[in-house]
Amino acid sequence: MADAPEATDIHRTRVENPVVEARGLTMAFGSTVLFRDVTFQVAGGEVFVILGGSGCGKSTLLKLLIGLYRPSEGAIHILGEDMEAAQGAARRQLLSRIGVMWQSGALFGSMTLLENVMLPLEEHTRLPRAAREEVARVKLGLVGLSDAANRLPAEISGGMAKRAGIARAMALDPSVLFLDEPSAGLDPITSAGLDQLIKDLARDLGTTFVVVTHELQSILAIGDRCIMLDKQAKGMIAEGDPRRLRDHATHPTVRAFFRREAA
Amino acid sequence: MSDTVEQAGFERDGETLRLRGALVTRQVGSIWEAVEKAARGARRLDLSAVSSLDTTGAALVLRSAEVAEGAAVEGASKPVAAVMDRARAALAAPRPAAGDARLPFVAGVGAWGVGLVKRLLVSTGFIGETAVMGAAVLAHPRRLRFNDLLRHLDEAGLRAFPLTLLLGTLIGVILAFQSSVPMRQFGAEIYIPPLVGISLVRELGPLVAAIILAGRTGSAFAAELGTMTVNEEIDALRIMGVDPMAMLVLPRLVAAMAVMPVLSLLMDLSGLLGMGVVMGTLGFPPALVINQLQQWLTLGGLVGGLGKSIIFGLAIAGIGCRSGLSAGRGPRAVGDAATAAVVGGIVATVVLDGLFAVLFYRLGW
């Protein structure tokens, strides 16, 4: 990786073999353009943050990256494969190598946490049932939910649901984990615990994280690099190390964001 | 980025079980049981030939060590050891305590009985609350939300017309056609109109209309109020000082009571029309059919049928609203509430119909 500083707040980083790559992404709903020309690369093992204010298209960008939406223009490569071109078995194979934690947890209400985590293992591996249970217990243990394995999603708190969501996303030991607003709605202590978990998992398991958030403390705590989207600019207004952006940003919106000022 | 990984494998060498290759989720499924079997009696698990390992692979190593009754895990490279440490710590965390044991039979029956009485008490409370609110609205009619009432009249009534017409006509046709075969044997086909007419007006019209209302509207009431309960909207209403009974329940009850006689009448008329068509095909002129109906159908029978349909509507809407308002938490709650509303609504209708049959018999209607 080599930094190529520019006059703007966009400090692009060239990445060899990027795990996630977005090239010139434009998303429009009818004639309304949400963002245009979003380009970035994510290196293996890094925690990459997509940030921005409400309504700037962060969550839409995440849905583009995981293939739920199709971009109006541009291309997405995950683990070197074109997300749009991958169909059938190739797409299934690609999907088994990524994990997604949804903002609400999106746990299946009729299943216990253990069963939630076992579901992807059942679909994608040939592990015997006892082994699936053992593996699922490891994932729940990784996020500190061993003792809640037999509880239903309705019986756990919001923070636990987020952690269970991460455990389920990690069921197949994916190379990339996409997290949508992991800290939203959590108290500072739970939120800090979740940040620590993300850092530990990235360090110990080498998992790449792409995190959508607007929680400033989380961004500074976990982010190796970030991009910032802006509603007015309809695209990216910053890219780089979040701590560096906090201290040296020139764009007024980026400065306001990192200094918690009214724009 | 390359998708190929080194093949996972193992070999047993004396007291050592040697694992090799990439022990990752995609690969360990096919060797899990064989590795477990090979681990029996081993004293060492050698990971020096393991090129990569994820947490699923680590679970396999830990399981093998457990099967081998505490065999030493050796030779792991630094990254492999880091994943092993993480997985070991994850599995060492305390597991959930065993759930509550099932109650013995007698205690179980007792607990079921207590639960039943509690539910009955809550239902009785709901009926009481509805009655009090109904009386309050009679005194102050402006408390009834007129716009909501119109919406429910439209959804429960007008939009049910096509289905009611279809079912009514078909029931009339089927009844007339099926009864024509035995009646013909006695030369009594002329009595098909009173047979179908009395059945429809006194029983089938209100009953089938009630089943339509329970299936379409009772379930919709339960699902809508159930979703509001799950989303804490009902609590929000109470905190704002708005009575959910007045705002949500009463318009639905009034709408259901108002539409039921209309649906029943529609069911009666469309059924008679269907019967008339069959009689026409059997060679009986419309005038004869109408004459027969005039002779046999009484105003008391019609009014009785329409009157009891109002009570059916009240029961169905009440059960639907009550199911929705008492919905539990979680995504299944709304489905459970809708099911309870439909089942409860239909059972209540049939039970009430039985009571009306006894009542009308006593009154000589």
Q: What is the pLDDT of residue A112?
A: 93
Per-position b or e across A55-64, b if 16+ CB within 10 A of its CB:
ebbbebbbbb
| pLDDT at A91 > cutoff 70 | yes
Half-sphere exposure of A41 (CA within 13 A, CB side): 16
In chain A, the percentage of residues whose pLDDT exceeds 90 is 51
How much of chain A is helix, strand and coil, in % rounded to 5?
A: 40, 25, 35
H/E stretch holding A198: helix A188-205
CB B18 within 8 A of CB A114: no
- What residues in A contact B93, CB-CB < 8 Å? 141, 144, 146-147
Mean pLDDT of A250-263: 83
Interatomic CA distance for residues B28 and B33, integer angstroms = 9
The per-residue pLDDT of chain B, averaged, comes to: 91
Interatomic CA distance for residues B341 and B321, integer angstroms = 8
CB A163 within 8 A of CB A135: no
Option in B54, B93, B328 nearest A141 (CB): B93
Nearest-CA distance A6 → chain B (Å):
29
pTM (global) more than 0.80: no
Structure tokens at A101: 């934690």
Nearest-CA distance A47 → chain B (Å):
18
Residue B2: pLDDT band (50, 70, 90) is very low
| pLDDT at B238 > cutoff 60 | yes
**Tens-digit pLDDT profile for residues A109-158:** 888 999 999 998 988 888 999 999 999 999 999 888 999 999 998 889 88
| pLDDT at A192 > cutoff 70 | yes
* Cβ–Cβ gap A110/B79 under 8 Å: no
* Cβ–Cβ gap A142/B95 under 8 Å: no
Option in B3, B82, B94 nearest A146 (CB): B94
Residue B4: pLDDT band (50, 70, 90) is low
A78: three-class secondary structure by DSSP: strand
**Tens-digit pLDDT profile for residues B288-330:** 999 999 999 999 999 999 999 999 999 999 999 999 998 887 7
Residue in chain A closest to B334 (alpha carbons) equals A109
Q: What is the pLDDT of residue A3?
A: 47
Q: What is the pLDDT of residue A6?
A: 46
Domains and CATH numbers, chain A: 20-259 (3.40.50.300)
Nearest-CA distance B52 → chain A (Å):
10
Q: What is the pLDDT of residue B176?
A: 96
| pLDDT at B343 > cutoff 60 | yes
* Cβ–Cβ gap B96/A146 under 8 Å: yes
Nearest-CA distance A239 → chain B (Å):
24
**Tens-digit pLDDT profile for residues A71-84:** 999 999 999 999 88
Residue B1: pLDDT band (50, 70, 90) is very low
Axis crossing angle, helix B299-325 with helix B219-230, rounded to the nearest 10: 20
**Tens-digit pLDDT profile for residues B148-165:** 999 999 999 999 999 999
* Cβ–Cβ gap B96/A144 under 8 Å: no
Option in A96, A151, A205 nearest B55 (CB): A205
| pLDDT at A227 > cutoff 50 | yes
Half-sphere exposure of A126 (CA within 13 A, CB side): 9
